[in-house]
Amino acid sequence: MAIEFKIKKNYFQDALRLMRISKNIREMEGVKNAVAVMATEKAKFVLEDAGLMTPEIKGASGSDLVMTVEADSEELAKQVLVKMEELVSAGISQSGKESPDILHQEIQAINIGLESFKEALEAQGIKVIHVNWQVPANGDPKLINILKKVY
């Protein structure tokens, strides 16, 4: 067995995305373990427990990305680590699903309640669906209790 790792300084990534990439890499033939995580203290504890800790990883900060692979051979571990880094850098997991780029998508909103919020969004060119919601029974506790019994 061989372990290879890489640390990318100040390279924040979404934890759920990293878990998905790690899971897909672990499913590759010859890979015993693969983990891509932000180097938080909790993540370091998990790496230590899994036998994947190194002095370099121990010194990494919470804003650093750590990628580590344990495979049948040193050559395979290096190849898989390169693949993992490509997936992280490309913004996709091995499944081929791209991460949503929400910063460049059209904003759409559902506004519930105050119509002034709807109007403010529309003034900015945002598509809005307005739901004219009001407090049940105008907030009257006696009427609310009656409604609770009916439903």
**In the predicted model, what is the mean pLDDT of residues 45-62?**
92
Q: What is the pLDDT of residues 68-108, one digit of tens each?
A: 999 999 999 999 999 999 999 886 444 445 555 666 678 88
Is residue 111 within 8 Å of residue 118, measured between CB atoms? Answer: yes
- 129-148 pLDDT tens trace: 889 887 778 888 888 888 78
Query: Which strands make up the sheet holding 65-71, listed edge to edge?
Result: 2-8, 65-71, 31-38
What does pTM read for this prediction? 0.60
- Looking at residue 13, its amino acid is Q
The more confident residue out of 139 and 40 is 40
In the chain, what are the domain boundaries?
Answer: 2-90, 106-150
Residue 26: phi and psi, rounded to 5, are -60, -25
Q: Which fold has domain 2-90?
A: Gyrase A; domain 2 (3.30.1360)
